[in-house]
Structure 1
Amino acid sequence: SPFPPGWTSHADEASNFIYYVDHDRQTSSWENPLVPHLRRIVEIGRGYLKHPAHDYFEEQKDILWHQHKHALDAWHGPFTDTEGRQYFVNTSENVSSWQDPRVDAQYIFELEAGLLASLEEVLPSPGDLLEENPWQDEFGAEVLTFDGGPGSTVRSNGGFGATARSNGGWFRANSQTSFGSSASFSHPGSNLAQQIAKKERTIVMREMKSAAKRLETIQLDEEETQRLAFAKKVEERRRRRAALRGAGGSGGAPDGASAAKGSGATLEGMPEFDAGSRAAGGAPALGSSG
């Protein structure tokens, strides 16, 4: 299933738009339940670009796992109802579920870890990101570093020629400093440097397209959510006008916090948290399993 355990998707009869049902909480939403996790990964990627580090993604993976473990602390069980069925109780959110919450946490974590791995593959390495920022010498002049060799740099020095910096230190050169047998650089914005940068961007874009295939479905759902939000407002306005005219409104897609109707999805039989019976050691009020 492309959704976390306990979630299903359905089409609204009136608009044919897709909405999502959380059977544990007996609520429904226009937003794909995986979209918040995708947003989280995107924010992690932005953080890496601002503060690149070799162990950044591994640290973020550990943070995500500890967050899931902390969320699991609120779950208790399994308990058994009068019919011998096992259920789990979340004392923080006052909900109960037939699903083992550890399965849900593992599913989400593996999804997040896979997305992080894809980001790490397609994003530049910390060294490459640092090289993109101009290095300055003690006089504040910008120095462009090339991949021609360790410590090989060249900078523009106005009308006084070029100053190259090698491993041994600084030395003066002519207006064009030669690196290798055929490449010459007169200033940081040389054509060859631009060609190298263009080729690197092409490679990165190709890799990003490959990784984007894994995110395509979720991204489309996120875009669809924005369209559905507008369509929902239009539909609600139409129903209010119909009600004022005495025509009444027909049932359709759910509100953001209510279960959908007329979709073929049944919410009966899902466990509900009962504080009184829980305190007495009994199972929460349960209907027939559906």
Structure 2
Amino acid sequence: MRSVKFHPPGLIIRVNACKTYRYAIHDRESGQEVHAGTNWDAAYTQWLTMRRRTATAPQALRVSWLITEFGERHGRGAGKARVVFSREMHLLIQAIQKIGDPLVEELNEAHCQAFRLQSQVGPVRTETLVRRLRQVWRWAGDEGLTNRACPWVARVQDQAIQIEVIDIVARFLPKDILDEFRPGRVEEMEERVRSHLSIAVSLAVRRAIGQLLRAGRPDLVPALRRCELQWFLDHQSSKTADLSPDGELQLDHDRITRVLELRRIVRTGQRTVSEANSRDFNVE
């Protein structure tokens, strides 16, 4: 449906043999269909007006309700943009529920810290979800659902990237090196110790780059090459100190190794077939 930007619940879409669309809206109050014309934008505006009038916010208003309602009203976009939007709404609701799905009036900065600690999507995407929540919160304010400023503040992208890189590099550092980054150790650190740590970080960066390239993640390599000791000293509050040393980096994009393996299998199969054909035509 090329003329349909997205399909909100309750908006009825019909298409005839000439590929023209007609829209109608299911009125919750009367239970009847209301004609909404043939233009999607006009139909959506009419649907949105009716949704605002009929949607009833629960008395104990929770953050997950805001996210769900926002997602249903504003799932605009097409193709990849709509897929990304839907996925972010889903991830955000999941994460909010994991931290107890707080009431809107009780959401605070501590919830944001808990959200970051339990996140499984990496620091950069986690901050994207924080920004998405702030977008939901602004909408909720415009709708009169809350009069509070959003208590969550997203980190800047460079800071989020640094934290993600630190978490990766830390997996290639020995435990005794990781112990040096614990709070309270930096102030008493001698220049000799700093030099030793700097060398260890450089070696860990090389190992991390090698594995990322094998795993098909060249997008992170430029940031890894900029990684230095000071990044670890500036972000002692990250999860770095709790990581297991010498751990295998688990990535969801182990594409290059897999593709090479599949190519090897194909080449082996082709060579086997070729040799069999040669024997078949080798008539003595």
TM-score under structure 2 normalisation?
0.22
If asked which structure has higher relative contact order (CA below 8 Å, sep 6+), I would say: 1
Q: Between Structure 1 and Structure 2, which shows a larger proportion of helix residues?
A: 2
